[in-house]
Structure 1
């Protein structure tokens, strides 16, 4: 699985700093900033609310897909080689670790044949949805603790050491919270649904199950509550927190046709299926018709096995929730009500994207595949070869292609070689020209290259800048930022007024800006240079950038 992950991410390895994800460069820039920011924890200077981005108001780290756990865990790698290398490593590591985790659960806990477990685990790690999310959504692919969480729950249901397992489960929940909170939410919903479905198909339920499960879950809840009470309060009620989900569920819903389609990122995929999803990072429901047929056949064959039936039933429920508030067919939204409408406004759930419920069905389907191969290999001679071949044949079209990559602008030597220290003090504010925003956050990589040693105004993040403090992407740009963006858009320096100069002084004071920096090769560079020369005087050439010292 390590080799498969390496092949999948090979496009990033040739030059991690100079190549990036072709399909989601913006989220990669955000991820690299968070990975670099986490290194500050190693010098005792990590905060969940920081002014290092969106200076001076800052951002609520927990209110964003901030990679806290991954960033701290891989900080030594980031400090040694930089955030782009860490991003490439983590992208592959998550996929390989997911597959290995589910393989161990299937082989050792469920006692399935090793080949069957390998097939099921490989599907769990490299399913189209997981590969799709690898396009810049590391918080969604960091799900390698979920098999361990599931193992704890299943062990509790067997009556094993309730208190010890509860303590372990609580610790795993806390760890997963910081790895990926949305993954934890989906795992909790899926495990709850599975336990209910399994109980409904199992009669009678052994007497020891409920006491053991109740004690263990109670201990786990107590541990998690003590450890997470403050972070959760900070996320939803603390400084720079925002209410409501920022992404509309109507847009991030699975198309009904996508379930039978092949992902464009898969071996047999085509670009035509791309219109069935909101973007390349959300091909979560692309299971393919061959796989669905195999799962249906496996369930019918093993209908006497409660675990298999429960997995299939819960998968159907999760996929129904992935449809969002209303059913979408062939990119056309209908008025047909969908189950997600029942939970659309439930706190916390409203932060999750509907289509990602299909992602939670992946390990359930992987278990069904592993079970049917196990049954064929161990219980029948006539189907010993036919069933594994049928399963593999259904999976081959879904085999992932390497993640598409493309060249990206290098971070200026001004930052990578330390020239910036002559421009601003540590934790001072440097203003990239133009300022980063949701549409183009690449300048955030400049701070990431220094370990986020200086603050950046604006940026690509989620904050309370919608109506009434609701969630919004980014902040409304200040006048000087708007002026610089107009210069780029028109490729011509705007006619300056006295108000522009007043706005500049006010914005410099507001940002606590030390200097403005324009990199060589920036789009609209000539217009930007002329504009800043007129506002602040001639820029100073330092390494491969132009620098203007700020005067408030």
Structure 2
């Protein structure tokens, strides 16, 4: 009998006994329920305290702090949050905008705009600013994800609340979530995923239309939070279900028979609720067909090493094999994987444990990409991703992220182990030592935060209004994934002007293949290279003509050069391109190009 079946039988027996007890026994039962509720409250409080600890540096300066590990992602997300609030107050279309990448605009549904949090938290954004919203969302994401998995494991896998707490703790604060907390809230705010799985399990056990309705609503809500985590969870659960039912096909037939019709109802509900936004995402203005990231699989060492932002990573750092600081999607550490293997062997008679072990292996292998890489050296060994990447939707997903599917499976093994160790007193001490050796190195460190530089006075004080009619602002260089500061300046100016360029995902070329940032214009590329090199090029008449054409394309009103790296070289380059001297206005150099760009 599996742990789920055991827990269900225990719940049934308890309910029957309670119905026939004497008043004193009923009073005792009520006291036990109070204690259970108190344990839930302690778990929620503990997860919240840990989330605040991880985000503590950001909370010390919640309106101006900047997570150094985010690159330019924090600016992009704050822009999304601020734009959602702006769209609500101005009754604008929330799915698309011309305020970035002018005049082509941005398809916000085709980007990770997270309407599921940006819209409900719009009052917070309007009152306190998008950085406070950003900090709140990340903190809430860590704590709520941990608690949701704690609830799920306690309801469907284990009887001990302590065991469920261990599993929830790992799900909410696994290395991947701490890494993504630097800049990807869509991979941190994941509390709906265990609720979705709970509904699917209930449907497989014969629940009716009400559960199907709830499932449809939850799926629609998750689409508003992030589609990629939903896809990874669906793949993970499919692997788990196949492994679980492999040894019990009769149960599989019953589960499929029970769930088929309700799942179709849930899918229909979710589709009705999201049809409009999804159409806009895939067929609306500035939609794209796919995005090719190139090889993005995990290095094998990424599975075995400790994460950078952890106790173990601080004491014993390994080779840097991550894609970047926000994509440490594995980094379980060899002690944890050894513990998971030991747990799987100890619990091998449990179908849940066997299925969890298979899921960990499959999702980790998928995350390694098309070719096995060890220490950044290719081995020539072809892996399953070489076939999976050809499938629709999979072609746009970073394969490294499929390692996140192993997180709840590992958590399930940990929870089942604690649950059994609590019942078998003789095993408590050795398992406690093993857990300490495996989990202490993974204790996260607070994320590093710096005080960001304020916006130029030209934007913060509203001086820009004298230079903008109905055209765009062209900053030098233009905002792009490498430098998106102008997005913050636009937010400071309350979206009073559109920006040429930007940081987003949009289509390029007739194939509508996606890239990060706008389709490159020659003048934008030139200015970006000058900022990088500090060398003033020899400006030709052709380059001047191209600059004029690009300004017309952007419908530019003003060209603005703020303080920054290689400012003198940039000023001389723009001066040569435009054939005119700039004006010093507040703390920026300005070229008024309204007559020339018309």
Counterpart contact for 1:264–1:274, Cα < 8 Å: no
Equivalent pairs, count: 546
Query: 1:68–1:450: structure 2 CA closer, same or farther, 3 Å change rule?
Result: farther
Distance 2:320 2:345 in 1: 33
Partner of 2:44 in structure 1?
A: none
Could you tell me which of 189, 204, 214 is aligned with 1:168? 214
Comparing 15-24 with 173-182, greater Cα deviation is found at 15-24
What is the CA distance between 1:217 and its match in structure 2? 0.8
3-state SS of the aligned residue for 1:241? coil
Q: Which runs of 5+ in 1 are unaligned?
A: none
Distance 2:465 2:228 in 1: 38
What is the CA distance between 1:183 and its match in structure 2? 0.4
What is the CA distance between 1:224 and its match in structure 2? 1.7
Does residue 73 (structure 1) correspond to residue 120 (structure 2)? The answer is yes
What is the CA distance between 1:532 and its match in structure 2? 4.6
Partner of 1:192 in structure 2?
A: 238
Partner of 1:410 in structure 2?
A: 454
Could you tell me which of 161, 170, 176 is aligned with 1:123? 170
Does residue 237 (structure 1) correspond to residue 283 (structure 2)? The answer is yes
3-state SS of the aligned residue for 1:384? helix
Counterpart contact for 1:52–1:455, Cα < 8 Å: yes
Partner of 1:303 in structure 2?
A: 348
1:101-500 to 2 correspondences below 5 Å: 101-160=148-207, 162-202=208-248, 204-205=250-251, 209-248=255-294, 250=295, 252-270=296-314, 272-377=317-422, 379-424=423-468, 428-465=471-508, 468-491=511-534, 494=537, 496-500=539-543
Query: 1:274–1:217: structure 2 CA closer, same or farther, 3 Å change rule?
Result: farther
What is the CA distance between 1:130 and its match in structure 2? 1.0
Query: 1:179–1:517: structure 2 CA closer, same or farther, 3 Å change rule?
Result: same
3-state SS of the aligned residue for 1:189? helix
What is the CA distance between 1:537 and its match in structure 2? 4.5
Distance 1:106 1:97 in 2: 14
3-state SS of the aligned residue for 2:323? coil
Rg larger in structure = 2
Does residue 51 (structure 1) correspond to residue 93 (structure 2)? The answer is no
What is the CA distance between 1:370 and its match in structure 2? 1.0
Counterpart contact for 1:513–1:550, Cα < 8 Å: yes
Counterpart contact for 2:319–2:375, Cα < 8 Å: no
Does residue 34 (structure 1) correspond to residue 80 (structure 2)? The answer is yes
What's the TM-score once normalised by structure 1's chain length? 0.92
3-state SS of the aligned residue for 1:116? helix
What is the CA distance between 1:166 and its match in structure 2? 0.9
Comparing 141-150 with 399-408, greater Cα deviation is found at 399-408
Counterpart contact for 2:157–2:412, Cα < 8 Å: no
Comparing 413-422 with 314-323, greater Cα deviation is found at 413-422
Counterpart contact for 1:163–1:215, Cα < 8 Å: no
Query: 1:78–1:419: structure 2 CA closer, same or farther, 3 Å change rule?
Result: farther
Does residue 5 (structure 1) correspond to residue 51 (structure 2)? The answer is yes
Query: 1:99–1:536: structure 2 CA closer, same or farther, 3 Å change rule?
Result: farther
Counterpart contact for 1:24–1:135, Cα < 8 Å: yes
3-state SS of the aligned residue for 1:471? strand
Distance 1:124 1:53 in 2: 36
Distance 1:357 1:139 in 2: 15
Query: 1:106–1:68: structure 2 CA closer, same or farther, 3 Å change rule?
Result: same
Query: 1:479–1:335: structure 2 CA closer, same or farther, 3 Å change rule?
Result: closer
Comparing 201-210 with 256-265, greater Cα deviation is found at 201-210
RMSD over aligned Cα atoms: 2.4
3-state SS of the aligned residue for 1:281? coil
3-state SS of the aligned residue for 1:247? coil
Query: 1:338–1:533: structure 2 CA closer, same or farther, 3 Å change rule?
Result: closer
Could you tell me which of 500, 506, 511 is aligned with 2:549? 506
Counterpart contact for 2:158–2:416, Cα < 8 Å: no
Counterpart contact for 2:557–2:592, Cα < 8 Å: yes
Q: Which runs of 5+ in 2 are unaligned?
A: 1-46
Counterpart contact for 2:290–2:512, Cα < 8 Å: no
What is the CA distance between 1:220 and its match in structure 2? 0.9
Comparing 102-111 with 258-267, greater Cα deviation is found at 102-111
Counterpart contact for 2:63–2:128, Cα < 8 Å: no
3-state SS of the aligned residue for 1:92? helix
Distance 2:305 2:523 in 1: 47
Distance 1:150 1:287 in 2: 24
Distance 1:313 1:207 in 2: 21
What's the TM-score once normalised by structure 2's chain length? 0.85
Distance 1:373 1:71 in 2: 38
Counterpart contact for 1:50–1:61, Cα < 8 Å: yes
Q: Deviations over 1:237-283 (max 9, x none)?
A: 332222232311x2x11112221211121111157534222122121
Counterpart contact for 2:84–2:94, Cα < 8 Å: no
Query: 1:488–1:208: structure 2 CA closer, same or farther, 3 Å change rule?
Result: closer
Distance 1:256 1:210 in 2: 36
Bigger relative contact order, structure 1 or 2 (CA pairs below 8 A, ≥6 apart): 1
What is the CA distance between 1:133 and its match in structure 2? 1.4
